[in-house]
A and B are shown apart, each in its own frame.
Chain A
């Protein structure tokens, strides 16, 4: 419901002219390597189309001469003092102009590698790009990187501007050389330049007016090329998707608010709400156009209520019945990385897919791209400005669309904590991963946790025993289990070696497989703990990432126990002869020998088996369990039996 206009703005007595419809400006980003002339080109374009506001040229002349420069066109956009002092663009900016055909908003982007995040910020808002390439220096590092990022950002309409032709004597051969090089690179990305225009930004050749110097060039000027661009296709005909931003209450009505990203919706439509798949029927639609709205379409911000009492929450996606997004626990994505700290296997990120947020772990790099030649790079980490294909794993199902089907619900920001450090387009669910098949609705247990606990006389929980092979994890766990069992406790042990004979027999010892190993064990332990059992997990779990994953899956009842003994002590014990085999090179990736063990930094309990004997450490573990998991007398329950 629109707020009623309480006072009409003053109006003329004269008959009102039919208001001319405002046309949306066509957003164009100007990208390319540092100093190749992007900002100059924009300044000149604005000037040559007579679009500069009054007084602006004089002001530019003044600030240029104050710095001992001839007229510096780039100062029109490089407005910050630091940009003018250093002669480079730091941050993206926008400027408006119009031709007889339509209005444009031109987005300037910095070419310096250090400011790639600002280039992405600018380019993400564009529908087409001008890739500026210096005729003298040719295709350079950021020319390629920017081209790659354009393809990831879905900006596939690209005009190439071969700039500084004045430095090359306006020779056709210079243009041809750049044209061949750029076209070959773009072709590998599945793109094709719409036009390759030889120009000189500083002198205004082939910007708005045809160059006198380059009669050999038959194609359009830059301005003509812009007017030849076709507008992007509308999104209203694609499958309906509305990610929920928030839930508002009006009286007893609850409304999902959000923006319709694709498709359309009308009253009475049957929908499903991902990821749970709960069905609902549209009861009302409010986009602020007044009462009685029947429809809404892509691009509109809407508030929608349903006939059913649906459980609504931010991050869910409303979809047509039978056309839910895909669901998966692991995604294959193509990502760009903007942070100075590199991304490595095991890194934890927040995947921000529309309004949903998922804690994910980098499970593996399928390929890190060498942007120079688009081959596989020989590296194990993704540095700033890098691009890679990655598998990301989540503990909860992620609703998504492959980005080739529906770009908006098929892309995501990547955050470290709350800081945005990269972006990704979703290629699909990771193969062989435990994808959630079809809509999943959790079934509630018929006996609740409190009832289990009341009968057992203790709470459920997970004691996660990590430590080197031979540190004594299994011995201590088995000892504690026996004692607690004899006292009437419901207690069981999940032992890493035993699990690898069954549940996990398909897994090896690579970082990704260790991750999956931990994920499965943690999920099983969690189920048992929820059903009232005390679970002793005996698993090397050598890295902080692995233990953090377990903690994130299990939640509150998780107790991190470090069964501590140094490598030498363990190697001396060597109950299974594994250390000897590892030292002989017969076992690869053996923790403590050829794979690292990261000591826990803040475990809930340390059992030092090098210092104390087994009965003592077992006693310590039992005491910890009783202290934390027994129900006390005050609750009316027995402690132990």
Chain B
């Protein structure tokens, strides 16, 4: 997902006997669906895991602007350009909501920026793939935002108040993202044979990376089990992936496009689609920094940050000048 394979620092799910009275009281509140708020006592591992998870999510929103930003100046119509601009601006907003939520846990914005710009921080594997044609913009909105929604909707109910509230804001905006993507795909799928081929090609390239977004199976992961106990993870990776496949296949069929998976078929007994093996080697390669665009994404990010320095300096200088002026007036 936007946060993939988040470590909790625990070796097994904490049992009641291992917990201090404070931790027991904390777990009881979580179990009773009472939100945990910033100033309240929380286990150190919960705090640290949340910082990791929320900041990864935030970094993904920020880096996620790049593949789409690539097409803003080349959108096929002024309307598409305005839509894409609005969508990318939303993603910047999502990053900001999430950084603020992370900061309530005691990490500073500067630290978070440093982690991202130095390449130390992780972000979702999906944003390391290139956007080769306009159809990729449709495919991203439809598939990538679609997959993100699968994960973000349940997170609205997560145990940490600021994270849950950020998710609620984000979810309100995401459905526009997915719809505009599907709408762009529809236009292409109903267009000339070349345009339809472009849509098919984009689906071919984005399908498997989208399924990888959910992360490898975490049925046996201690970290996932602990995160679920803390209610900062609501569903297992496989559960969400299956939901995504079940939802998306009919949408592809409606467009007359073919999902690039020869093993994909409806399983009436399970009431779900069966689908083929995911190439997890590819996923691990991308996570390790060897995806098609990892280096480019980081380079672009650092360049934007450095080239924005004069704007931040100017804002600082202006604020200082104004403060000095109003002080002089008061004196």
Is B truly associated with A?
A: no
